[in-house]
Chain A
Amino acid sequence: MTKVDLSVNFAGLQMKNPVTTASGTFAARESGEFYDISRLGAVITKGVAAEPWQGNPTPRIAETYGGMLNAVGLQNPGAEEYIKKELGYLKDFDVPVIANLAGHSIEEYCAVTEMLNDTDVAMYELNISCPNVKLGGIGFGTDPKMAAEVTEAVKKVSRKPLIVKLTPNVTDITAIAKAVESAGADAVSLINTLLGMRIDLRSKRPLLANGTGGFSGPAVKPVAIRMVYQVRRAISLPILGLGGIMTGEDAAEFLMAGADAVAVGTAALVDPTAPVDVVEGLKAFMEREGYENIAALKAAFKG
């Protein structure tokens, strides 16, 4: 059996393994009731804005075949509360924290960035792609010029490496990836959720109070793999790959497609221990297949 080294260096961040949590599907206390979060390469926390956001009315969740829709609408308690409660709790764990940032405007994105600059957060992930918030998100992530503008503005005030999270709801994701690369992003993550909708045939209304919502889970994996593959060929920044990862083999598929690290999202809602199970599954897969490290696994891809 091959001895496996799972560690990676992701945009300067040393990680014991390439597995992290997808934003919005991890809460330190609650997820930590099911597994030791220090076993993960990093954790990405739920989207946080400078001020508290109420989010959308309920129902916010709907099931779909092999996945789910969510329209949480980025409900969050604001940066001050986040620093106290979430970061305060995460201090005691041996795991780097990546803060996912939300905003309705460039000013708001910069405000939350500045509020977190003096914390222990290792890295930022800029959510320019959440499809739920009518006022903002969607505009930035779907237009190369606006995506570059917000990246540049946040990069200017940020004292930490910056991942820019891309939305799949575009015609050509490589155009956005190139735009944020030239604007100074240190890495990209993809994919955020796909815009979806379901209708309740009994009430004849959308299942979600918001009408539409973000589609995630194993059903979206092929779309995510294709996009990681395309972006890998278009830019040279490190890529955090996510979208439908349920198992260690799924993670390996993302790494071969071009990702340098991965995140587990919906899987962790439907099975709370999924992130650590993916770490173990990836390790077992690499032992079985004879990959000594992540670089070797990535290099084996023939596509």
Chain B
Amino acid sequence: MAADEKGTSSIVIEEVRKRFELTNGQSIEAVGHVDLEIAGGEFIALIGPSGCGKSTLLRMLAGLEQPSHGRISIAGETPEECIKHHDLGIAMQEHGLMPWLTAKKNVALPFRLAGLPVDEDRVDELLNLVGLQDFAEALPKQLSGGMKQRISIARSLVLRPRVLILDEPFGALDAVTRRLMNNELQRIWSQKPTTTILVTHSVEEAIFLADRVCLMSPRPGRLALIEPIELERPRKLETMQEQSFLNLLAKLTAALDEVCMPEVAT
């Protein structure tokens, strides 16, 4: 399956499991058995209890970890091949910016690391996209938490990846900034729909952004529920007050509570 004309990639996750061998000879199963097909340009949100293997699943998608079983294909390629073509962007809860580089140079860093000539126009375009063109010369420590995350997202997009992997990128932000950033992310994504997988602890965030919300059960994580979100796009912050949104929120929150603490929920 090749990339479609939008320049996005579909992802197939087949019977993927991950078992970590611990130093004491024991092993733990982090990801139980995950099957999922993601269409090109689709936005998937992944929620689930802490420690259920969400980050592990993302790391496997990003080629940072090998599945112990099963396979992952991104537009017919392995994640490693995908990385070699610079088709993958990641942004994590910890932004991982280089403190000695200015915002602009941080965004340009993927070009340097990939051994490509730095496309200054592209870097400026992304700084504009995340609204930080005036902070191009600022060092990370001179930026707020939200600004750093925006730089981190700009950095993940600079090589025009077909797949974007986000692991709680807004986890460290306050509620208001977080909603603002959700809005920003939606805007960025809708300008060029990129296949996106977002891990989040916020059910609201998941519903607001995603085409489908996947709920993982506790470790070893499996997909307990896949909920299509058919709210009209573009979604506005007011959408979060609408009844259809609230219904979804109630449903998914209950489902999350149930997988987290079955004895309490029943």
Same complex for A and B? Answer: no
